[in-house]
Amino acid sequence: MKQLTDRVAILTGASRGIGPVIANQLAEQGVHLVLVARSADKLQREAERLSTTYGIRTLPVTADLSDPSTAPGVVQSAIAEFGRVDILINNAGGGGLGPFADETPDAILDTLRLDLATPVLLTRAVLPQMQERGEGHIVHVSSIISKVDAKYVVSYAAAKAGLTHFSRSLRAELRGTGISSSAVSPGMVGGAGMAQTWMDDSGIKPPKLMGSVSANQVASAVLKAIRKDKAEVLVAPPGSKLMTLSPGFASRMFGRIGAWEMMRKLSEGPTEPRPVQSAPTENPAENPAA
Ligand SMILES: NC(=O)c1ccc[n+]([C@@H]2O[C@H](COP(=O)([O-])OP(=O)(O)OC[C@H]3O[C@@H](n4cnc5c(N)ncnc54)[C@H](OP(=O)(O)O)[C@@H]3O)[C@@H](O)[C@H]2O)c1
């Protein structure tokens, strides 16, 4: 999809972290935005900021995406306001840290729902009107962890691997219809987002060799995926990209540079095992992850 001006996009996870940075880059191109997350006040503020700064139309939609049954309602709200959805960006996500056996069944299911089931059902909900017009693009924000035999994020890694493969398979099925699907897979993001929050909360510093990318790089990759119709864009330092050619090799190398030890230490933080996502509050003092 080369032309982005006056398109309508649903962006999940728009209240904090990487989401608002993706929103900025889309808004700069004149894309009207449906912003989805749980934190109503933050979404409202983001919507006003984007409309005022970029002159686009915005619609904040509050939804708990760990419940996949919310998906059709989110899409209906967007269509009621804008008449169509040209782009869906499944960006909301997160996962627990710690040994798999310590995760509660509820926490595991929350991760699988938020990172896999809901993006799949949001996609299912936007497709019919895209098919009527013969045009549309869906981007799934996955993770480099989907390509590595990952420790201490097992459920999250499984959900992200499923999401990446969903994107590839859907893309194959839709080829030639004008509708396409891409995965964007970031390595560790510095400066904003969940990894930065983990570091800030714990005081643990990532191993130097691990490297990081910025939220702006992830956002640029999302736009590139849409414009150039990429199957997958891996956003990571060159060394990490090379490692992912073999998931087992990557796992050993990530182990050598201390990545899994860092994950283990993070999981032993004050809220062990760390919840998948705490219910948001508007008071940062009550919710340090916000
Ligand atoms: N940061 C990284 O290092 C990194 C690396 C690789 C991949 N990623 C992926 O990048 C995406 C964005 O991550 P991030 O780092 O920006 O995370 P973040 O800072 O934790 O933000 C997560 C976003 O998702 C929303 N969200 C979380 N749970 C939700 C729920 N149950 N229902 C609705 N919205 C929910 C949050 O809003 P509310 O709390 O207001 O609901 C927030 O807007 C995720 O898919 C993540 O897996 C991140």
241 is catalytic: no
pLDDT recorded at residue 196:
94
pTM for this one? 0.92
**What strand order describes the sheet that includes 32-37?**
58-62, 32-37, 8-12, 87-90, 136-141, 179-186, 232-235
Mutate to test the pocket of ligand 1, among 194, 197, 263 (most ligand atoms within 8 A of CB): 194
pLDDT at residue 281, rounded to an integer? 39
Q: Is the CB of 70 under 6 A from ligand 1?
A: no
Closest CA to 139 of 81, 179, 197, 80: 179
- Domain ranges across the chain: 8-267
Contacts 24+ apart (CB under 8 A), 194-199: 194/17, 194/94, 194/289, 197/17, 197/288, 197/289, 198/97, 198/266, 198/269, 198/274
Query: Catalytic site residue 142?
Result: yes
Instruction: Give per-10-residue mean pLDDT for the chain (290 aa).
Output: 97 98 98 98 98 98 98 98 98 94 96 98 98 98 94 96 98 98 96 93 85 96 98 92 85 89 82 45 32
- Ligand 1 atom at minimal distance to the Cα of residue 186: 6
- Residue 38 Cβ contacting ligand 1 at under 6 Å: yes
pLDDT of the residue at 271:
43
- Please report the pLDDT score of residue 243 as a whole number: 81
202 is annotated as an active-site residue:
no
Please state whether the peptide bond connecting residue 60 to the residue before it is cis, i.e. omega within 30 degrees of 0.
Answer: no
Top CATH class, 8-267: alpha beta
